[in-house]
Structure 1
Amino acid sequence: MHPALPHSGRSPRSRSPRRLLTGLLPLALLALPLALLSLPAPAQSVDDELPVAEIQTFAEVFERIKRAYVEEVDDTSLLRNAMRGMLSELDPHSAYLDREAFQSLRESTEGEFGGIGIEVGMEDDQLTVITPIDDTPASRAGLQARDLILRIDDTPTERMSLQEAVELMRGEPGSEIELTIMRQGESSPRSVTLTRENIRTESVKSELLAPGFGYLRVSQFQTRTGDQVSEHIRQLERDGDLDGLVLDLRNNPGGVLQAAVAVADAFLDEGLIVYTEGRLPDTEMRFSANARTAAPDVPLVVLINGGSASAAEIVAGALQDQRRGVVMGTESFGKGSVQQIMPLGNGEGLKLTTALYFTPGGRSIQAQGIEPDVRVVRGRVEVTENGRGVREADLEGHLGSRDAPRERAELSERLRDDYQLGEALNLLKALDVIRQRDR
Structure 2
Amino acid sequence: MPTGPRVRQGMTLGLVFGVVLFAGAASGAWGEPIGSPRAPSSSDGARGADLSGADLSPQEARQLVGASGDRWAAYLSPQQYRDFTGGRYPGIGLSLGRAADGPTEVAEVLPGSPAARAGITPGEKLVSVDGVPADRLPVTEVVSRLRGGPAGSAVAVGVQGGDGPVRELSLTRAELAAREVESDRPRPGVARIAVHAFTEGVADQVRAAAAGARGVVLDLRGNSGGLVEEAVGVASAFLDGGPVASYQAHGERRELTAAPGGDTAVPLVVLVDGGTMSAAELLAGALQDRSRAVLVGGRTFGKGTVQQPSRLADGSVVELTVGRYQTPAGRSPDGTGVQPDVPAPVGDDDGTDALALRVLEGLSPTGAP
Secondary structure, aligned partner of 1:216? strand
- Opposite residue 271 of structure 1, the aligned amino acid is G
Shift of 1:211: 1.3
Question: What residue is the counterpart of 1:292 in the other structure?
Answer: 261
Bigger proportion of residues as helix: 1
Amino acid at match of 1:113: R
1:297-337 per-residue CA deviation (whole Å, 9 max, x = no partner) reads: 11111110111000110110010000001011111011111
* Structure-2 separation of matches of 1:220 and 1:335: 15
**Identity over aligned pairs, percent:** 33
Partner of 2:104: none
**Structure 2: distance between partners of 1:23 and 1:358:** 22
Q: Name the CA shift for 1:307/1:351 in 2 (closer, same or farther; >3 Å).
A: same
**1:92 matches 2:71:** yes
Q: Distance in 2 between matches of 1:425 and 1:310?
A: 25
**Matched residues in 2 for 1:119 and 1:94: separation?**
22
Q: Where does residue 111 of structure 2 map in the other structure?
A: 130
Distance 2:264 2:357 in 1: 19
Stretch of structure 1 that moved more, 366-375 or 338-347: 338-347
Is the Cα–Cα contact under 8 Å of residues 206 and 232 in structure 1 kept in the other structure?
Answer: yes
Q: What is the aligned partner in structure 2 of residue 327 from structure 1?
A: 295
**Secondary structure at 1:436 match in 2:** coil
Distance 2:360 2:50 in 1: 52
SS in 2 for 1:419: helix
Q: How does 1:219-368 map to 2 (within 5 A)?
A: 219-234=196-211, 237=212, 242-279=213-250, 284-293=253-262, 295-368=263-336
Moved over 4 A (4+): 21-25, 75-82, 117-121, 146-149, 159-169
Measure the CA separation in 2 of the matches of 1:259 and 1:301. Answer: 19
Aligned residues of 2:217 and 2:356 also touching (Cα < 8 A):
yes
Aligned partner of residue 308 in structure 2, secondary structure: strand
2:58 and 2:185 mapped to 1: Cα distance? 53
Question: Which amino acid is 2:87 matched to?
Answer: E
1:17 pairs with 2:51: no
Q: CA deviation digits over 1:131-156, x for unaligned, max 9?
A: 48xxxxxxxxxxxxx8789xxxxxxx
Deviation at residue 291 of structure 1 after TM alignment: 2.3
| C-alpha spacing 1:280/1:223, structure 2 compared with 1 (3 Å) | farther
- 1:436 aligned onto 2:366: yes
Over residues 266-296 of structure 1, what are the superposed CA-to-partner deviations in whole Å (9 max), with x where a residue is unaligned? 1101321111113465xx4312222222x32
Unaligned runs of 5+ residues in structure 1 are: 1-14, 29-74, 122-127, 133-145, 150-158, 172-195, 381-416
Residues 1:23 and 1:279: Cα distance change in structure 2 (over 3 Å): closer
8 Å CA contact retained: 1:120, 1:131: no
Q: Decide whether aligned partners of structure 1 residues 81 and 120 sit closer, same or farther in structure 2, where only a CA change above 3 A counts.
A: closer
Separation in 2 of the partners of 1:168 and 1:356?
32
Measure, in 2, the Cα distance between the counterparts of 1:350 and 1:147.
32
Match of 2:88 among 113, 116, 127: 113
Contact 2:51 2:310 in 1 (8 A): no
Report the AA paired with residue 309 of structure 2: I
Preserved CA contact (<8 Å) 2:300 2:338: yes
Instruction: Find the aligned partners of 1:77 and 1:428 in 2 and give their Cα distance.
Output: 50
Q: Which runs of 5+ in 2 are unaligned?
A: 1-32, 40-48, 96-108, 120-128, 132-141, 153-173
User: Which residues of 2 match residues 43-58 of structure 1 at below 5 A?
Assistant: none
CA distance in 2, matches of 1:350, 1:77: 10
Residues 275 and 211 of structure 1: CA distance in aligned 2, closer, same or farther (over 3 Å)? same
Conservation of the 8 A alpha-carbon contact between 1:320 and 1:326: yes
| Partners of 1:107 and 1:338 in 2: CA distance | 22
- C-alpha deviation, 1:225, in angstroms: 1.0
Contact 1:334 1:368 survives alignment (8 Å): yes
Residue type at the aligned position of 1:285: R
Say yes or no: does 1:420 pair with 2:352. yes
Give a deviation string over 1:86-115, Cα, whole Å, max 9, x none.
32x1x31123x252xx5435533x252356
Equivalent position amino acid for 2:270 in 1 = V
The one-letter amino acid of 2:227's match is: V
Deviation at 1:340, TM superposition (A): 2.0
SS of the residue corresponding to residue 307 of structure 2 reads: strand
Residue aligned with 2:318, SS: strand
Match of 2:341 among 370, 373, 391: 373
- Contact (CA 8 Å) 1:278, 1:356: kept in 2 or not? no
Q: Distance in 2 between matches of 1:337 and 1:129?
A: 28
Is this contact kept in 2: 1:276–1:286, CA < 8 A? yes
* Partner SS for 2:111: strand
Counterparts in 2 of 1:111 and 1:228: CA distance versus 1, 3 Å:
farther
RMSD (CA atoms): 3.9
Q: How many residues align?
A: 272
**1:86 and 1:320, CA in 2 relative to 1: closer, same or farther beyond 3 A?**
same
Quickly say closer, same or farther: Cα 1:160–1:92, change in 2 above 3 A. closer
Question: As a proportion of its length, which structure holds more strand?
Answer: 2
- On the 8 A contact 1:331/1:370 being kept in 2, the answer is yes
- Tell whether 2:178 aligns with 1:201: yes
Contact kept in structure 1, 2:81 and 2:316, CA below 8 Å: no
Residue identity opposite 2:224 in structure 1: P
